[in-house]
Amino acid sequence: MNLIELLKKIKRKILAQMFNLNYRPYTHTTVIFESFGGRQISDSPLAIYKELKKTHPEYRLIWVVNKGLATQAEENGYDYVIRGSFKWVRTIEKAQVWVENARLPQWVRKPDHVKLIQTWHGTPLKKLGLDIENITMPGTTTELYHQNFVKEANRWDVLISPNHYSTDIFRHAFGYQNEIAEVGYPRNDKLANSTEPQITALKRKMGIPLNKKVIMYAPTYRDNQFFQKGKYSFELPFSLKEFQERFGKDAVLLLRMHYLIANSMDISGFENFAYDVSSYADISELYLVSDLLITDYSSVFFDYAYLKRPILFYPYDYEIYKDELRGFYLDYQKDLPGEIAYNPIELWDKIECGLAQSNMSIDQRFNTFYDRFCKINTGNASKEIVEEISKFISK
């Protein structure tokens, strides 16, 4: 262990001890927001933040961010604390509400006066928590992972669910016993309320040509492909050169990697065709500008389906993923709302078909999927959660 690692370990122990102090809550109502462990200012926590900012200007709203996001927070006028700092411990321990979208470290203590709203971050396709029979992630065992997941989940006071299907899974996969708000994900409100002028404005902001179709590729990470604990690797399962040769005249490609994927995409030489949007804060805006989504086992397609646009699945390692890594809650080959390609040749053909479509409303299989997973959210989820927060604070 080198000196830097030793100092980090010592600081972590000090932070853990600080969480054990008996902090009194702020007299001024304070709500904490964190997205993907401080890696982003995004997702459902951001949607709830914006609604609270509008309806309750009297509340103090603070983002927890990693050091690299401090400039972004300042530029957007967000009040913030740096995750892992001593101020971070004092601030979140004295707040009344935490809004999170991912699990917290076990050593972070939640005081009794805190209400934790867990927005989570997707409708489950691949198995979660207790339903994963064999854990291959570094730094843990299957038994310890299960124990920690249940312990963490039951620190949540309210868990947001996007549909009844997810509610059932969350109960048994998380061993969750507390309240579930089945209202839809707040981050999807803008998908239900978008307009064409808004979409055009977003394309201009991102520098995307208005005369070209937009394809987004958004895969998930693989549990067995990692650099170290919490950091996974990923290589594109197709040739960018061939992709550009086939579709570059009429389309551009957005590459959206999972937040746990640590290595950046090398798009040198393809800058006018491929855009690495992995760090783009609001994935909903990426959905809005995209004409076709390509994914594998990521839950992004559940949200993208709100737009009733074509979705293509590219599970190039299907047998390994299904049998050796996670497994699925749905029948992957029957229940999905789109075509499946298992190799690059099939991928190119099905992309052409997908780009020729613009609206999936006349597809019966797609409509069945939409009714089951998307229909619940009418664009008011953020308002409903804000009402939940204000009720707790007024008690």
Q: pLDDT-based confidence at 302, cuts 50/70/90?
A: very high
Do domains 3-188+379-394 and 194-373 share one topology? The answer is yes
Percent of the chain, pLDDT > 70? Answer: 94
**pTM of structure:** 0.88
Distances (CA, A) of 248 to 98, 174, 215, 291, 340: 44, 43, 11, 14, 22
Q: Which residue has the higher pLDDT, 310 or 324?
A: 310
Q: pLDDT-based confidence at 227, cuts 50/70/90?
A: very low
Mean pLDDT calculated for residue range 142-158: 93
pLDDT in tens, 51-100: 999 999 999 999 999 999 999 999 999 999 999 999 999 999 999 999 99
Q: pLDDT-based confidence at 231, cuts 50/70/90?
A: low
- The answer on pLDDT for 251 being more than 60 is yes
Q: Which residue has the higher pLDDT, 223 or 338?
A: 338
- Looking at residue 139, its pLDDT comes to 78
Fold topology of 194-373: Rossmann fold (3.40.50)
- Looking at residue 263, its pLDDT comes to 53
- Looking at residue 385, its pLDDT comes to 98
- Looking at residue 266, its pLDDT comes to 79
Write down the mean pLDDT value for the chain.
Answer: 91
Query: In CATH, what number does 3-188+379-394 get?
Result: 3.40.50.11820
So where are the chain's domains?
3-188+379-394, 194-373
pLDDT in tens, 321-367: 777 666 789 999 999 999 999 999 999 999 999 999 989 999 999 99
Mean pLDDT calculated for residue range 27-46: 95
Mean pLDDT calculated for residue range 288-306: 95
Q: How many CB atoms lie within 10 A of CB 79?
A: 13
Mean pLDDT calculated for residue range 151-176: 96
Q: Which residue has the higher pLDDT, 322 or 125?
A: 125
Mean pLDDT calculated for residue range 263-280: 85
- The answer on pLDDT for 229 being more than 60 is no
Mean pLDDT calculated for residue range 221-226: 56
- Looking at residue 347, its pLDDT comes to 96
